[in-house]
Amino acid sequence: QVQLVESGGGLVQPGGSLRLSCAASGSISSISAMGWYRQAPGKERDFAATISWSTGSTSYADSVKGRFTISRDNAKNTVYLQMNSLKPEDTAVYYCYLERAYWDKYWGQGTQVTVSS
């Protein structure tokens, strides 16, 4: 199986920054893409960012575009999410995912990000 271990969440003030990381291990075989979803209290889980493992091409939700940057370290099977200019609306549980194929998707345990004064 694939295991995803996330770190970097926590409590920050509005305007602050956090850097999330997600390291994959196990039966990876190959990676098509890795990325992040987030789920705010009382809301559905929504797409945040993704990165192609082969090309490095990125895609972002409009709500985070210009503030968040996704990156990868292929040698470490790790994806990062640099979050700047954080807003209270960014408060959510952030879930890392790994896709070996469009039908083969794995999820991390989630890490809490709280943006509050």
61-87 mean pLDDT = 97
Structure confidence at residue 66 as a pLDDT band (50, 70, 90) = very high
Write down the pLDDT at residue 27.
Answer: 87
Dihedral angle, C-alpha 112, 110, 46, 55, nearest 10 °: 120
pLDDT in tens, 14-55: 999 999 999 999 988 899 999 999 999 999 999 999 999 999
CA-angle at 4, arms to 10 and 25, nearest 5°: 140
pLDDT > 90? residue 1 = no
d(CA 20, CA 71): 10
Distance CA 56, CA 46 (A): 21
Q: What is the per-residue pLDDT for 29? A: 83
Two tokens at 113?
């990000």
